[in-house]
Every structure is written in C-alpha cells, then in structure tokens.
Amino acid sequence: MNQEIKILAIESSCDETAAAVVVNGRDVRSNVISSQIDLHTLYGGVVPEIASRKHIEKIDQVIEQALSDADMTLKDIDAIGVTYGPGLVGALLVGVAEAKAISYAAGIPLIGVHHIEGHISANYIENKELEPPFLCLVVSGGHTHLVKVTDYGKYEILGKTRDDAAGEAFDKVARAIGLGYPGGPKIEKVSHEGNPEAISFPRAKVADGVYDFSFSGLKSAVLNYLNGCKMKDIPINQADVAASFQKSVTDVLVDHAAHAIDEYHMDSFAIAGGVASNGTIRKAMEEMCRKKGVKFYHPSPILCTDNAAMIGAAAYYDYLAGKRAGLDLNAIPNLKLGE
C-alpha cells in the first residue's frame, strides 16, 4: 500500500497513561508510556481514584511527546484510536474524553478500540508476516482469554477465566509471600532461585469448559500452604513457592493452548498481555509450539504490558474496515470482545 495511514493512539484503561503514533498498523513511530506503578506500589495494588487523577495530569504531556517523537503534528494524523473498554471506568474516561476533544477540535476521525483487541494486535507490530487466522492467549492482570482470531477485528472466544485472571493470581500470590506489587515480574525474578518441583500446587481444570481457566483455587492452595507452614513453624522458601506457583500457571496455560492448537488445526499461535512477558511461560509455549511444528509469536515485553502502540495497531484494521466512533463514544468498563 502506498498510502500511509497515521494513527494517534491513546490508552488509559488502568495504570499507564500512554500515547503512540503508528503508521499502517505495524510501523511504530513513537510509543510513550507514563507508568503509575510506583504510586500504586504504596497501596499494594491499583487505586482507581489515584489512577484517574494521574491520567488527567499526564495525558496532554504524553500525547504531545508521542507526536513530537514521531516528528508529526495533529495535521499529519488520519485517525485517533482510543481504548474505550474494558478497564477502570474513571481511568478509561480520561482517554476517551481527551480523544473526543482532539477529534472534535481538529476534525480527525475517531475509533474506539477494545483493550484486549489491542493486546492481541501487539503481535502484528514486530511480526510483519503474522496475519489471521491464528490462536492467541491473552494473559493480563484483568483477563485470561483463549481467542481464535478468525480475521482482523473478528474474534471467537474459546475460553476465559471463571474467576481470577492469570496476572491477578501472580499479584495476589506475590503479596502473600511478601513480594509486593506488581507481582508478576517479582515472582518471575525470585523463581530463578527456586525449585519449580518443590511444592505440588494444583493444575486447575474446569469440568464443563475445556478451554476455561480457574486460578482462584491455585491461589487458595498457595495461601493454605503458607498457613500450614506457619502453623507447623516450618520456614517458607519464598523462591520455591514462587517457582512452584509459576510452574502450575505455566502448565495450565500450555495445556489449554496445546489442546486448542490440536482441535482447531492452527499453524500459528501467539501470546499477549502483561503475563506474556514472563520468560518461563514464553519458553514453555515456544517448546510446545516447536514440538507441534506451529509458529510461535509474542510481543517484546514493553508491548506485552499496557501501551498505546498496540491500540494504534488494532485501530488501523478498524479504520480499514470503516469503523468510526461518534462524539457519543463512552467508556464501557465491562466491554465484551466483539461488541
């Protein structure tokens, strides 16, 4: 394609204020992320009120930086893509209101993007050859979805979590063993010093949904184990607990993915979302895909966790499909994929 479609993307669904400029869906010209992690660490998790307030403080600056890093002004931009759900309503509203204001003032078309569609689309950025159909496992702090990407913007959800998301389980277990927030990267780090076979935690299966996940049982098993140790006055080996918990999550994720690859005869498999930056999970997925002769895709860690480049990638395919939002676009905290 000769024509360049330049999209300014905005993401503010949780605790990162982010803006990016993406050309033709795959060429990231800028990717600015202002993380609030340090602020929320004090409270052991994301505080929605604080998140909204910080987004308001940062959003203008982040957008200006994204345009200037891309060496562009609003005059160069063909469309604005913004996450409108799912996420924290107050946080989402900041991005949506900002995007609408720019769209109205500068006369630039507006596109509402689903956050999970963004995570999936992060895979397009560094894997230029990746095209649907493929299977994608989205594992983040809020979501655990096994999705069949049938076409750009077309998704079939094969399974999802019945309770906690994978990242949420990482965060809760990390807190229980005294590692603090955000749990995922901390558990991954200490697990390198631990033995993944030291403690046998359950690999949860959901009886009536082959591809559904359940992580709250695993979290309870870890808490029970910790309580048991305390009561018996047995010292807790933090690294062994972390490594054994991580192994249990990895086994379940790989098992579900392998099953879906076989059933749907897919030759490409991708992972996405914050938990997809976990090295142990990646390695296990890579190994499984290699054995099956399936191509394995994953974004770089910076494109796994929340960012706006992935929203720009998703918005491009929505743009090509003619999807446009009006100035009545609203934040939808529980937006379903495919709506």
Give SS3 for 18: strand
Pick out residues in 275-334 that bind Zn ion (CB under 5 A): 306
Residue span binding Zn ion (CB under 5 A) among the ranges 134-142, 203-211, 307-315, 330-338 = 134-142
Cα separations in angstroms, 147 against 117, 159, 183: 10, 7, 25
If contact means CB under 5 to 8 A according to the sort of partner, which of Zn ion, ligand KG4, none does residue 278 touch? ligand KG4
Neighbour count for residue 231 (Cβ, 10 Å): 8
Residue span binding Zn ion (CB under 5 A) among the ranges 132-140, 181-189, 206-214, 226-234 = 132-140
Q: Is 168 near Zn ion (CB under 5 A)?
A: no
Rounded to whole angstroms, how far apart are CA atoms 241 and 247? 10
Rounded to whole angstroms, how far apart are CA atoms 61 and 129? 34
Cβ nearer to Zn ion, comparing 137 with 241: 137
Residue 317 CB, nearest distance to ligand KG4 (Å)? 20
Residue 104 CB, nearest distance to Zn ion (Å)? 27
Name the β-bridge partners of 155. Answer: 149
Residue 328 CB, nearest distance to ligand KG4 (Å)? 25
Single-letter residue type at 136: C
Buried-state track 187-209, b at ≥16 Cβ within 10 A, e below 16: bbebbeebebeebebeebebeee
Residue 316: is it exposed, middle or buried by C-beta count within 10 angstroms (0-12/13-18/19+)?
buried
Residue 75 CB, nearest distance to Zn ion (Å)? 31
Q: Which of 127, 140, 161, 307 binds Zn ion (CB under 5 A)?
A: 140
Closest C-alpha among 14, 103, 10, 9 to residue 333: 14
Both tokens of 240, joined, read 């062994």
> Which runs of consecutive H residues, i.e. helices, occur in the chain?
37-41, 48-69, 89-106, 115-126, 166-176, 183-191, 216-231, 238-264, 279-292, 301-304, 309-320
Cβ nearer to Zn ion, comparing 88 with 241: 88
Q: Is 250 near Zn ion (CB under 5 A)?
A: no
Fill in the per-residue mask, 216 to 235: x = in contact with Zn ion (CB under 5 A), - = not in contact.
--------------------
Residue 20 CB, nearest distance to ligand KG4 (Å)? 15
Cβ nearer to Zn ion, comparing 194 with 299: 299
Cβ nearer to ligand KG4, comparing 112 with 183: 183
Residue span binding Zn ion (CB under 5 A) among the ranges 27-35, 136-144, 251-259, 292-300 = 136-144
Cβ nearer to Zn ion, comparing 33 with 110: 33
Binding site for ligand KG4 (CB under 6 A): 14, 140-142, 167, 170-171, 182-185, 188, 273-275, 277-278, 305-306
If contact means CB under 5 to 8 A according to the sort of partner, which of Zn ion, ligand KG4, none does residue 182 touch? ligand KG4
Residues of this chain that interact with Zn ion (CB under 5 A) are: 140, 306
